[in-house]
Amino acid sequence: MTWLATLRAHADQPPLRPRMPLWAGGVQIGSVEPDFLSQIGLQRIYQLREQLSKDERGWHLLGDPTASLALLADALRDAGLAHTWRNEQLAVPDATGRMLGTVERAVVRALGIATCAVHLVGATQDGRVWVQQRSFSKPNDPGLWDTLVGGMVSAADTLEAALVRETWEEAGLQPEQLHGLRLGGQRTTRRPSTDSGGAGYVVERIHWYACTLPAGVEPQNQDGEVAQFALLQRGVLLTQLEQGAFTDDAALILADYWGV
């Protein structure tokens, strides 16, 4: 399938432009375009001199990573270089996944920091699949179709806790309604992002789960972030995937679910 090969290639792309490593305590936690942080202004850079420095190896966060990233995030917001502000802290991992600190969600793409997400594929007993259309007011991929549930894992969450929270907020479903819940697979996507004027870079580890919803159970959105739900047969769903109606992540997950 040409569309699927294209989609998979799109999910594993190098940055559009060279990037410099972002370090914390001698560990690389992300990356930035060479002049990106300079856009916050020389005066602000000087104010951050105890939290941020630059040399031939890249940019270095000094002191406690969480505290330094909080000040840097504020500076990026003030300079108009942050994405939609969420007041939500995400984990800052090292290469092994160990959490070194936390950071405001609005700047993770600009700083090339790896994030973690969960998705849920919900099917009926006859094999049809529930999907959601994202709200047209969402900052990312408004109006596109998605898996039944999908969301970021916050710094305070385990994967399981994030899945339970997102499943209730987006679909109004409780854990006992997710029959046969299982981990379906994992994916890591790497691709340029439109965040921060195109200077962002996505590195995201996605854990997707699958379950069966009992007869008569229908998802009901609770947080206003879903426009509508639909229950699709395999053939209809694959056609819509090919036509680009779904987010890239959802399309890859659903293709994995169907084994295509």
Q: Tell me the pLDDT tens digit for each residue of 234-249.
A: 999 999 999 999 999 9
* Distance of alpha carbon 72 from alpha carbon 153, whole angstroms: 22
**Secondary structure (H, E, C), 120-175:** EEEECCCCCEEEEEECCCCCCCCCCEEECEEEECCCCCCHHHHHHHHHHHHHCCCH
Q: Tell me the pLDDT tens digit for each residue of 168-220.
A: 999 999 999 999 999 999 999 999 998 888 899 999 999 999 999 999 999 99
Can you give the pLDDT at residue 97? 87
Domains annotated on the chain, with CATH? 2-10+115-258 (3.90.79.10), 20-107 (3.30.750.160)
Alpha helices in the chain (DSSP H): 2-10, 42-47, 65-78, 159-171, 195-198, 234-242, 248-258
* Distance of alpha carbon 118 from alpha carbon 101, whole angstroms: 20
Q: Which residue has the tokens 């819940």?
A: 181
C-beta of residue 191 within 8 angstroms of C-beta of residue 202: yes
C-beta of residue 183 within 8 angstroms of C-beta of residue 207: yes
Structure tokens at 69: 């990233």
78 Rama class: left (phi>0) / alpha (psi -120 to 50) / beta: alpha
Question: pTM value?
Answer: 0.93
